[in-house]
Amino acid sequence: KQEVTQIPAALSVPEGENLVLNCSFTDSAIYNLQWFRQDPGKGLTSLLLIQSSQREQTSGRLNASLDKSSGRSTLYIAASQPGDSATYLCAVSEGASKIIFGSGTRLSIRP
């Protein structure tokens, strides 16, 4: 059974730092991996989608990598800003009806 883990559960860093969020999964037979951002009381906003055949995706200050063999994905945020404060979730897809979410990392950027 696929399990998705995000460690740490919470992270606080000063503004301007580059940081890495981690996502690990137990079964490498995935179709894609998606990173989301969730603000308090809001829905999930898609940040990056990496297909199983891809190694990384970039959007602005965000870069996500995927290593299926080791069951790991990282989300790199460059030059962090207070507006980046949110909970970040990763989700692994084993098919359109089988999407497993991690519990998220709550990120706080200190001004």
Partner 1 sequence: DGGITQSPKYLFRKEGQNVTLSCEQNLNHDAMYWYRQDPGQGLRLIYYSQIVNDFQKGDIAEGYSVSREKKESFPLTVTSAQKNPTAFYLCASSIWASGSYTGELFFGEGSRLTVL
Q: What is the chain's Cα-based Rg? A: 13
CB of 73 to partner 1, least distance (A): 15
Q: How far apart are CA 37 and CA 97, in angstroms?
A: 21
One residue of 51, 54, 58, 59 binding partner 1 per CB under 8 A: 51
Q: Is 54 in the site for partner 1 (CB under 8 A)?
A: no
CB of 50 to partner 1, least distance (A): 11
Q: Is 59 in the site for partner 1 (CB under 8 A)?
A: no
Q: How far apart are CA 32 and CA 109, in angstroms?
A: 28
Residue 50 in contact with residue 32, Cβ under 8 Å? yes
| Separation of CA 29 from chain center | 18
One residue of 12, 26, 46, 81 binding partner 1 per CB under 8 A: 46
Q: Is 26 in the site for partner 1 (CB under 8 A)?
A: no
